Amino acid sequence: MFFLDAFLKGLHKQGDDDAIDRLNYYWTPMLLVIFALTLSAKQYVGQPIQCWIPAQFTGAWEQYSENYCFVQNTYFISPDKYIPDNEIDREGAEIGYYQWVPFILGLQAILFYLPSLFWRLMNFNSGVALKKMLYGAKKADRVDEKARHEAAKATGAHLYESLTLQSRFAKY
């Protein structure tokens, strides 16, 4: 649960992005995590699958058969076909995906979030305060021309200092 808690806390809006970025790093992982948790709850709390079992199976036999059916791969037979007697024919129609769906959805959520995390780490290590520069430019848009000029000058100076510092470190 610690990983999930840290993951959900890290999904806050960043401010240096647009609607498509937020869709990719925030909303899509949230939706995938919700789906994964819902499916996990169904698998581990309820009955994940209903398999055909003989009528004489009751109680523990029925539970064992349901658990075995869930863990083992099942196979799909069209209603207009007969159940194959040959085990090789059954293996050709196996479906073995539903146990792994929550894990795959969780992995997809992480993979959707990784580019944003990479961007944040690289932006933080670059020395350029991109978020502050964007907020300064946005604020400068609403003031008079002299204040706008000063804000642009400060933004340019910050960018110049950051890039100069990076080029000095690049030589070593």
Domains of the chain, by residue range, sit at 2-125, 127-172
- What is the reported pLDDT for 113? 92
32 burial class (0-12, 13-18, 19+ CB within 10 angstroms)? buried
Indicate whether this model's pTM tops 0.75. no
- Computed over every residue of the chain, the mean pLDDT equals 79
Whether the Cβ atoms of residue 28 and residue 9 lie closer than 8 Å to each other: no
Sequence-ordered alpha helix ranges (H) in 24-100: 28-44, 60-71, 87-92
- What is the reported pLDDT for 115? 92
Which of 140, 139, 133 has its CA nearest to residue 158? 133
pLDDT digits (tens, 9 = 90+) for 18-54: 788 888 888 999 999 999 998 888 777 777 777 788 8
pLDDT digits (tens, 9 = 90+) for 145-170: 888 888 788 878 877 877 776 665 55
The percentage of the chain sitting over the pLDDT mark of 90, rounded to a whole number, equals: 14
36 burial class (0-12, 13-18, 19+ CB within 10 angstroms)? buried
- What is the reported pLDDT for 99? 78
Cα separation, 35 vs 15, in Å, equals 27
Cα separation, 142 vs 30, in Å, equals 35
**Residue 40, number of CB atoms within 10 A of its CB:** 16
Question: Mean pLDDT across the stretch 85-94?
Answer: 77
